[in-house]
Amino acid sequence: MKSKAIIIGGPAGLTAAYELLIRTDVQPIVLERYDYLGGISRTVQYKGNRMDIGGHRFFSKSDRVMNWWLEHLPEEKPGQAEREDDVMLVRGRKSRIYFLRKFFEYPVQLTAATLGNLGPWRTVKIGVSYVKAMAFPIRKVENLEQFFINRFGRELYLTFFKSYTEKVWGVPCHKISAEWGAQRIKGLSIRKALLHFIQSSGKKKQDIQQKETETSLIEQFLYPKLGPGQMWEKVAREVQEKGGQVVLNFNVTAVEVKDNRVVAVRGVGPDGQEQRYEGDYFFSTTSVKELIAAIDAGGSPAPQNVREVASKLEYRDFIAVGLLVDKLKVSEPGGKAGELVRDNWIYIQEPDVLIGRLQVFNNWSPYLVAEPGKVWLGAEYFCYEGDELWTLPKEKMAALAADELAKIDIIRREDVRDSVVVHMAKTYPAYFGVYDRFNEVRQYVDAISNLFLVGRNGMHKYNNQDHSMLTAMTAVDNIAAGRTDKANLWEVNTEQDYHESKEK
């Protein structure tokens, strides 16, 4: 009998399943709670339009991941995307900050346009506070506000970082650990941004690897023609063709642990009946909070301190409002009248609205939009599951998004043709609250020898798809090599080679 791996959902889970099939004798069974694949990286379909929750760039500094993606969906040859679906497009990255009802380049560039937008008084204040921060840095950096100020100066922080960051996290920057900044924007600084600007001006486009470029600054990325979920639907088909199983609508509610090993998981299957899957290896992309609760339900609860920490882990949740509009009120600055802005996404720094970011799906892939000529937008809101925004009826949420975009002069209210509201829980595992005791959970789960926590919420780590996949690949490497310690899984996205800066 072949040994079996039971895998809870997600891109990391599907990566593990595929890797097990091609590199080991272990047979994977992927259990997915919903009737769609891809987790946070799914594609939502609405009346022929497709939405990407959060906008997923397919880009990695890891060749292993880049090659893996391209093996599943090859890069488009000229004109191929018009005839075939299973291809990756190469897209240009453009993202700007919208503030004072104006566009600022991201990362902010010291151009005449920026200075004109800011006005002389603000510009002087930014310059003076930057010099001050460089000359007298805060010695003991404990929170994110101090991290930003040391790197950019107080004025630049107040102008371009504070409002958006606080929208994302729902707490003031001085209450967020500096570690978040270190992980997300570690590589980004004024010096690097300036250097990049100088180097990239007048230079021809780099190849897609962009090895020398900070991830925040990359100019191109790969993108599946039909959105990120297309990748995971394809991988799931391949897993099944190679003999693995993918079970949709299966919610894992209990994980049975015995003698430091997982022996089985239980849950309710697509037929509404309880079902039990025994296995030799277990991979989890469910949130750490839910995993520890499921171990409780399995009959052998984790120690009290671990249950306490896990139950108090916090997450930031997300609402995306798809808005189909005839046209935007703003157009590309310097472009032809009415020309669609070129941004993939726009950071909304305006403090008088709740919207945090705006996706222009046309610019991710024109194939996400059903009707040529229409503009398909994603208005993004960060919230907590159960809060006022989360519980707002869908029609009111859609109206709020349309009203806010009209208020800040991005659209005209009367140009909105249709809308759809998508709630996505646990999009950002939080690095505050009880997070400083996370090691207690890690020690406990690491000691369960055949359990592998992988991915983003699976490890409570700010992992993008590439790092989520690398954790799964590393877990399979360990199984194939008979390695039992899990230190190398936790090193992904911490280790120098993988360490990237992130802006989202």
Ligand X SMILES: Cc1cc2nc3c(=O)[nH]c(=O)nc-3n(C[C@H](O)[C@H](O)[C@H](O)COP(=O)(O)OP(=O)(O)OC[C@H]3O[C@@H](n4cnc5c(N)ncnc54)[C@H](O)[C@@H]3O)c2cc1C
Residues forming beta bridges with residue 256, ordered by sequence position: 264
In angstroms, give the least distance from the CB of 90 to ligand X.
Answer: 15
Instruction: State which residue, 133 or 185, has the beta carbon closest to ligand X.
Output: 185
CA–CA separation, 298 vs 307, rounded Å?
14
* Residue 468 found at the interface with ligand X (CB under 6 A): yes
Residues forming beta bridges with residue 322, ordered by sequence position: 378, 420
Return the number of other C-beta atoms located less than 10 Å from residue 405's C-beta. 27
* Of 27-35, 130-138, 240-248, 256-264: span binding ligand X (CB under 6 A): 27-35
* Residue 165 found at the interface with ligand X (CB under 6 A): no
* Residue 181 found at the interface with ligand X (CB under 6 A): no
Per the omega criterion (within 30 degrees of 0), is the bond before 301 cis?
A: no
Residue in the block written with tokens 């996505």: 424
Instruction: State which residue, 34 or 417, has the beta carbon closest to ligand X.
Output: 34
CA–CA separation, 59 vs 88, rounded Å?
12
* Residue 34 found at the interface with ligand X (CB under 6 A): yes
Instruction: State which residue, 329 or 342, has the beta carbon closest to ligand X.
Output: 342
Those residues whose C-beta lies under 8 Å from the C-beta of residue 259, and which sit 6 or more positions away, are none
In angstroms, give the least distance from the CB of 314 to ligand X.
Answer: 15
Element (H, E) at 255: strand 251-258
Question: What dihedral do alpha carbons 147, 97, 193, 91 form, nearest 10°?
Answer: 130
Among 89, 133, 176, 252, binds ligand X (CB under 6 A): 252
Those residues whose C-beta lies under 8 Å from the C-beta of residue 478, and which sit 6 or more positions away, are 452, 484, 486, 488, 489
Instruction: State which residue, 21 or 294, has the beta carbon closest to ligand X.
Output: 294
Instruction: State which residue, 114 or 300, has the beta carbon closest to ligand X.
Output: 300
The Cα-based distances of 143 to 138, 178, 181 in angstroms read 11, 4, 9
**Total of chain residues touching ligand X, rule CB under 6 A:** 34
Among 6, 13, 215, 216, binds ligand X (CB under 6 A): 13
Q: Would you give the DSSP letter of residue 7?
A: E
- Interface with ligand X in residues 376-405 (CB under 6 A): none
Instruction: State which residue, 7 or 133, has the beta carbon closest to ligand X.
Output: 7
Query: For the packed helices 162-169 and 144-152, what is the interaxial angle rounded to 10 degrees?
Result: 160
* Of 154-162, 194-202, 321-329, 452-460: span binding ligand X (CB under 6 A): 452-460
Instruction: State which residue, 13 or 227, has the beta carbon closest to ligand X.
Output: 13
Residues forming beta bridges with residue 382, ordered by sequence position: 318
3 state DSSP class of 98: strand
Which is nearest to 454 in space by CA: 469, 439, 443, 465? 469
In angstroms, give the least distance from the CB of 346 to ligand X.
Answer: 14
Q: What does 276-340 look like in DSSP terms, one character per residue?
A: EEE-SEEEE-S-HHHHHHHHHHTTSPPPHHHHHHHHH--EEEEEEEEEEES--SS--TTSSTTPP
Among 450, 463, 474, 493, binds ligand X (CB under 6 A): 463
Which is nearest to 28 in space by CA: 218, 358, 277, 309? 277
* Residue 298 found at the interface with ligand X (CB under 6 A): no
Among 154, 225, 456, 486, binds ligand X (CB under 6 A): 456
3 state DSSP class of 225: coil
Instruction: State which residue, 108 or 265, has the beta carbon closest to ligand X.
Output: 265
Among 5, 12, 293, 473, binds ligand X (CB under 6 A): 12
Those residues whose C-beta lies under 8 Å from the C-beta of residue 110, and which sit 6 or more positions away, are 194, 197
Which is nearest to 39 in space by CA: 456, 478, 485, 397? 456
In angstroms, give the least distance from the CB of 452 to ligand X.
Answer: 12
Among 143, 230, 286, 349, binds ligand X (CB under 6 A): 286
* Residue 464 found at the interface with ligand X (CB under 6 A): yes
Instruction: State which residue, 107 or 455, has the beta carbon closest to ligand X.
Output: 455
Phi and psi (nearest 5°) for 54?
A: 100, -15
CA–CA separation, 62 vs 74, rounded Å?
17
* Residue 32 found at the interface with ligand X (CB under 6 A): yes
* Residue 56 found at the interface with ligand X (CB under 6 A): yes
Instruction: State which residue, 130 or 277, has the beta carbon closest to ligand X.
Output: 277
* Residue 500 found at the interface with ligand X (CB under 6 A): no
Instruction: State which residue, 156 or 355, has the beta carbon closest to ligand X.
Output: 355
In angstroms, give the least distance from the CB of 389 to ligand X.
Answer: 15
Q: Would you give the DSSP letter of residue 37?
A: S
Instruction: State which residue, 238 or 409, has the beta carbon closest to ligand X.
Output: 238
Contact flags string 407-446 toward ligand X, x per CB under 6 A: --------------------x-------------------
In angstroms, give the least distance from the CB of 39 to ligand X.
Answer: 2
Q: Which residues bind ligand X (CB under 6 A)?
A: 8-13, 31-34, 39-41, 54-57, 250-252, 285-286, 290, 427, 455-458, 463-466, 468, 504
